[in-house]
Structure 1
Amino acid sequence: MQFKGRTVLAFVLLGMLASSIITVVLMSPGNPALSSALASILGTSNKQADMNSTSGANAAAAKISDKDMSKIATTYQLISQSYLNKVENDTIINGAINGMLAALDDPFTSYMDQKEAKEFDESISSSFQGIGAEVTMENGKVKVVSPIKGSPAEKAGIHSEDIIISVNGEKLDGLTLNQAVMKIRGAKGTQAKLEIIRAGVGDPIQLTIVRADIDVETVHATMLDGNIGKIEITQFSTNTGDHFIKELTDLESKGLKGLIIDVRNDPGGLLNVVVEICSQFVSKGKPIVLVEDRNGKQEPTVSKGSSKDYPVVVLTNKGSASASEILAGALQESVGSKVIGETTYGKGTVQVTFAKELGDGSNIKMTVFKWLTPKGNWIHKKGITPDITVEQPDFFKVTPLTKKADLKINTSSDDVSSAQMMLNATGYRTDRSDGYYSEQTEAAVKKFQQAVQLPVTGIIDSATADKLEQAVIKEIKDPSNDLQLKAAIEELNKQIVR
C-alpha cells in the first residue's frame, strides 16, 4: 500500500519511524569533508574512515579508570544477585547504556536495541508498519514534531507539538523515547488508542488509529499552470535523491519555467541525500552546509553540481526540520531562492549511527556535529525565517471532535468551538467560534445535515461529526485553500521571464 502526495495537515497521523526523532543522519562516509571530521572523532588518521571503525570506541574505553569500572561491575552484581526480582542481563545492560545517553540531555541521541535498530534501518529505506508521526522527547514527554505526509490515519488529527501521554491505556511517563515508540508502533491491522494533550484544548484528546504497512514514497512531482513545477519531499530517505532527480528531469523535459520545492512537514533524514538534492541548484564550488565538530573546527560541503536557469522557491512550515532546513538554508543563502511559509522547526545538529562498535545488531545514534548554513548561521532552536511569511487558514489546524457526547444548543465546550470552525470552513456560517452552541450554530448544523443527507436534528452526533470532519478534509486538500502554495506560485510568476 502506497500513500501519495500531500494529505491533510489537520487530520493526518503519519508513519511512526523507528528513529522516532527528527534528524540529519550521516550513514556512510560518502562525503570527504565529513569523513575527515568523523575520522578525527573516531581516533583514526584515515580520511576516508569507516564510520563503524572500532578504534575510536576502544580509545574512549581506555580512558575509563579501574575505579569507575569497578563501580559499574559492582552495581551490575548487586542488581543481578541482590535485587528483589530477577532481572534479565540484557535489561540491565540496555538500561546502563540508556542511562549514560540520558545523562547527555540530548533528545537526538538514543540507543536502539536489536529490534529498534532493525526498524530504524527499515524506516529510512523502504517500508515499515506503524501509525505515522515523527516524535521527540521533551522534558520527559513524547512530543510530536512533524506529521509526515501520507499515512493510514488521514482523519486522526495529530498536530505538530501534540503531547502523547498514553497508548492503549499505558502511560508513557518514565519510558525512553524508543520504548515509547515501540508502544505506539505495532502490527498491521492493530489499533493504537492515543491520549493526547494539545495546547489550548482543555481536556485530553482521544484518538484511535489502525496501524498499517507504509511504503515510504518520499518524492511527489506535478506540473502546475504556467509550467510551474512542484516537487514535494516528505522525507530524505535512501532513494530520495535518485527519485528527486528523475522527477526534476521529467519536469524540465516538459518545459519547466519555475520550481517549488515543498518540504513542509518533512522531518529530515540522511545528510548525503539532502546534499545530493541541493547540488542540483547550488553552483559548483559554493557551500551547501558547514559541519562543525566539538572543537569548533568547520568543514564545508560544497556543491559539485551547477545552477539552474529558472527560479526556485522553497515552501516550509514549523514541521520542516533538520535536513529540510539544510535545503532551505542552502537555497536561500547560496542560490538566492525565496523561502515561503512559516519559520522552520530549528534543529541544527547531525547524528552519526554506531552499529559495528556494539557488535550485536544494536545501535547508538549520537549527536556528533552541529551544522550551519552557508553563511555560518546556526539555526538550532531558532529555525529558518522565511523571506515571505504566510500562515495557513485556521481550519487547517482544527482539533478533531472527541465524539464523547452529542453537541447541542446552549452547551459550551472545546468540541463545539472546533465544530463551529469546521462549519464556517465548509460554508455553513455560524455567528461565533468561541465554543458556545448558539441558535445560529444549530441552524448551520441543520443546513449541513440536510446537505449531506443526515437526519436534520441540529445536534452533532457521531455521524454528523464524521461527515463534518470529512468535509473539512476536502477543504484542506483543495489547493485553492493552500495560501502558502498560492504565495509561492505568485512569487515565481514575478520572477519568470515569459
Structure 2
Amino acid sequence: MAGKLKKAGLIGTGFVAGVLISLQFSAIADKEVRSGLPVEELRTFAEVFNAIKQGYVEPVEDKKLITHAISGMLSNLDPHSAYLDADAFKDLQVGTQGEFGGLGIEVGMEDGLVKVISPIEDTPAYRAGVKAGDLIFKLDDTPVKGLTLSDAVKKMRGKPKTQIRLSILRKGEAKPLEITLTREVIKVQSVKSKLVEPGYGYIRVTSFQENTGASVVKHLNDLYKAGTLNGLVLDLRNDPGGLLNAAVGVSAAFLPPKTLVTSTDGRTEDAKHKYFATADDYLRGGKRDDYIKEVPPQAYKVPMVVLVNGGSASASEIVAGALQDHKRAVIMGTQTFGKGSVQSVLPLPGNTAIKLTTARYYTPSGRSIQAKGIEPDIVVEETPNGDSFKRVREIDLERHLDNDKDGAPAKDAAKPQGKAPAKPKPNSGKEEDDKDSPHAEPAAKSDYQLGQAINLLKGLQIMQNKP
C-alpha cells in the first residue's frame, strides 16, 4: 500500500533492526513433534522451482532460489521476522556489543524510496544533518527505485573512510539535497548523563546493549558524587531498543529486588517466561559482576520522570511500562512506538540465521504494548507547537501483529491523546525555534520536554517539603 512503511531496519549500520527487543541465540531443535508436511503445497513449490531452473531466461543457482524462498516466507509473516545471510548475521552479533560499521541511519522502504526513520546520535548521518522523514532517491549515481531494501543496505555499506553521496527529498525543501557521508566504524555510547542543574540529574539511554545496565549504574554513581539528587530524568526518547536482559537490568537499577519487570507469552514453553529484577535475568547467566549491587541506595527512592516519544520502542517500552506499572516514575512525553513482540535469532548452517517472532511481551500488570505503545501519564509534545513531524509507528507497518489484549486499535489510537497542536507561531528569531527535536542536543536548554520534566520534579519537591 502506497505511503506505508514496508520494512524497517538499520541501513548501513548492520545493527539490530530498530525495534528489536530480544536476541535469544539458540540452536534449532526438534522440541515439538513435527506436524505432517503439506504435500500438495510442497509439490507446487517443486514445480515452480523446476520451471525456473529449466525456463528462466538466465541460469539461477539452486542456493539462491532456496535462500529467496526462505526470505520470502519470513518477510511475509510480520515486519520483524527475517532471513539473515552471513553478513547480516555477523553485523547483528557485532551490533549488540555497541560497535558496527556504516552510516548510522535507521531506515525503511516507502514508495520505492529509502525513508529515514531516525539518524543515530554521534554518527556520520547525524553529524551531516540527515533527518527523520528524509527520502533517499539516489545512492551515488544509482537510483533507489528498483532496489530492494537489502540492495540499498549493501550500497550504503563499505570500508571506513570511503564516501557515499545521498540524494535526498525533504519536506519543505524546494530542491533535492545532496549530502556526502564518510563511512566509519561506529561505536555507540549507549548511556550519557549530566547534572542539568544542582539537585537534578539526567540519564539518556540511546540503545540497549550488553553493557547498558552496568553503564546506567556507573552514571548514577557519578551523578550522586556531585551531591544529593532531588529528582532524576531517564530519557528513552528515540531509543529503538535492543537486548531484553539490558532492559531488565536498567529497570532493576530503580526497582526493588525480585520485582517483576516483564513477561513473555508464545506458543512454545520457551516463549512463556517472567523476567524479574534478579541477577539471573539481567546478567543472562553470565559470569559478570552483579552491577546492581553498586546502585546508590538513594536511586531507589529519588523522584523520577521517564521521557518517551514515538521513537521509543521495544526495550524502551519494557522499562517505561515496568516503572509505570510499579508507580516508580511518571511517564512523560508522547505515545511510544508500540513494538511488543519478541524475536529469537536461530542460527542455521553456513553462518546464516533466521530472526523469528516467537512471543509477545507484557508489562507487569499484563498490558500488551503491541501495536499500541505506552501511554504517557502526562502528554507533552516535543515542542511548544506540537510534534515537529509525523512518526511511523508499529501500527503503520504492514502485517503487524495485533494487540491480543485490547484487539487491533485504530491507527488514531496510537496517537497521543492530548490537545491538538497549536498553529506554528511566527519565528521569534531564536535559533531553537527551527530545531527539529530529534536533532536537538540532549539536555539542551531548548529541550522543551526535558524542561517540563524538571518543572514537574521541582513541583514534587515543593510538595514534599510542605509541612
Instruction: Give TM-score scaled by structure 2 length.
Output: 0.74
| Unaligned stretches of 5+ residues in structure 2 | 1-9, 279-291, 390-424
Of 326, 338, 342 in structure 1, the residue corresponding to residue 330 of structure 2 is 338
Tell whether the 8 Å contact from 1:166 to 1:172 is kept in structure 2 after alignment.
Answer: yes
AA aligned opposite 1:279: A
Of 13, 16, 19 in structure 2, the residue corresponding to residue 19 of structure 1 is 16
Change in 2 beyond 3 A, CA 1:489/1:215 = same
1: CA distance between counterparts of 2:324 and 2:440?
31
- Residue deviations 1:335-394 (CA, integer Å, cap 9, x gap): 331112222222111111111xx1211111111111222222222333222223333347
| Unaligned stretches of 5+ residues in structure 1 | 1-12, 29-50, 399-419, 434-468
AA aligned opposite 1:302: F
Tell whether the 8 Å contact from 1:145 to 1:267 is kept in structure 2 after alignment.
Answer: no
Q: Which has the larger radius of gyration?
A: 1
- Residue deviations 1:238-257 (CA, integer Å, cap 9, x gap): 22122222222333344342
Of 71, 79, 84 in structure 2, the residue corresponding to residue 98 of structure 1 is 71
Tell whether the 8 Å contact from 2:261 to 2:363 is kept in structure 1 after alignment.
Answer: yes
1: CA distance between counterparts of 2:253 and 2:431?
41
Give me the CA root mean square deviation.
Answer: 3.7
In the alignment, which residue of structure 1 is the partner of 2:460? 495
Tell whether the 8 Å contact from 1:147 to 1:319 is kept in structure 2 after alignment.
Answer: no
Change in 2 beyond 3 A, CA 1:350/1:165 = farther
2: CA distance between counterparts of 1:194 and 1:88?
33
2: CA distance between counterparts of 1:140 and 1:375?
41
2: CA distance between counterparts of 1:475 and 1:237?
23
- Once the two structures are superposed, the pairs formed by residues 1-400 of structure 1 within 5 Å of their partners are 16-28=13-25, 51-56=26-31, 60=34, 63-104=36-77, 106-137=78-109, 142-173=114-145, 175-198=147-170, 205-257=177-229, 258-294=231-267, 299-304=273-278, 308-355=300-347, 358-393=348-383
Tell whether the 8 Å contact from 2:105 to 2:120 is kept in structure 1 after alignment.
Answer: yes
State the aligned residue count. Answer: 399
2: CA distance between counterparts of 1:227 and 1:371?
35
Shift of 1:423: 8.9
Instruction: Give TM-score scaled by structure 1 length.
Output: 0.70
1: CA distance between counterparts of 2:159 and 2:212?
26
Change in 2 beyond 3 A, CA 1:475/1:372 = closer
AA aligned opposite 2:320: A
- Residue deviations 1:391-418 (CA, integer Å, cap 9, x gap): 33479959xxxxxxxxxxxxxxxxxxxx
Shift of 1:182: 2.4
User: Secondary structure at 1:144's aligned position in 2?
Assistant: strand
In the alignment, which residue of structure 2 is the partner of 1:436? none
In the alignment, which residue of structure 2 is the partner of 1:425? 430
In the alignment, which residue of structure 2 is the partner of 1:480? 445
Tell whether the 8 Å contact from 1:288 to 1:301 is kept in structure 2 after alignment.
Answer: yes
AA aligned opposite 1:21: G
Tell whether the 8 Å contact from 2:443 to 2:450 is kept in structure 1 after alignment.
Answer: no
1: CA distance between counterparts of 2:11 and 2:445?
24
AA aligned opposite 1:479: A
1: CA distance between counterparts of 2:301 and 2:382?
30
Change in 2 beyond 3 A, CA 1:341/1:147 = farther
Tell whether the 8 Å contact from 2:120 to 2:126 is kept in structure 1 after alignment.
Answer: no
1: CA distance between counterparts of 2:438 and 2:114?
26
2: CA distance between counterparts of 1:74 and 1:340?
56
AA aligned opposite 2:95: S
In the alignment, which residue of structure 1 is the partner of 2:282? none
2: CA distance between counterparts of 1:228 and 1:489?
7
User: Secondary structure at 1:266's aligned position in 2?
Assistant: coil
AA aligned opposite 2:255: V
User: Secondary structure at 1:129's aligned position in 2?
Assistant: strand
1: CA distance between counterparts of 2:427 and 2:164?
26
Shift of 1:202: 6.5
Tell whether the 8 Å contact from 2:139 to 2:155 is kept in structure 1 after alignment.
Answer: yes
Shift of 1:201: 5.8
Tell whether the 8 Å contact from 1:15 to 1:148 is kept in structure 2 after alignment.
Answer: no
- Residue deviations 1:256-308 (CA, integer Å, cap 9, x gap): 42221111111110111101110121233432123121489964323337981
1: CA distance between counterparts of 2:27 and 2:193?
36
AA aligned opposite 1:96: A
User: Secondary structure at 2:375's aligned position in 1?
Assistant: coil
Change in 2 beyond 3 A, CA 1:309/1:480 = same
Question: Identity rate of aligned residues, in percent?
Answer: 34
1: CA distance between counterparts of 2:367 and 2:45?
41
2: CA distance between counterparts of 1:268 and 1:232?
13
2: CA distance between counterparts of 1:20 and 1:172?
20
Shift of 1:175: 4.9
Change in 2 beyond 3 A, CA 1:25/1:380 = same
Tell whether the 8 Å contact from 1:321 to 1:346 is kept in structure 2 after alignment.
Answer: yes
Tell whether the 8 Å contact from 1:18 to 1:117 is kept in structure 2 after alignment.
Answer: no
Change in 2 beyond 3 A, CA 1:132/1:397 = farther
Between stretches 274-283 and 336-345, larger displacement belongs to 336-345
Change in 2 beyond 3 A, CA 1:224/1:425 = closer
Tell whether the 8 Å contact from 1:14 to 1:152 is kept in structure 2 after alignment.
Answer: no
Change in 2 beyond 3 A, CA 1:179/1:371 = farther
2: CA distance between counterparts of 1:72 and 1:319?
40
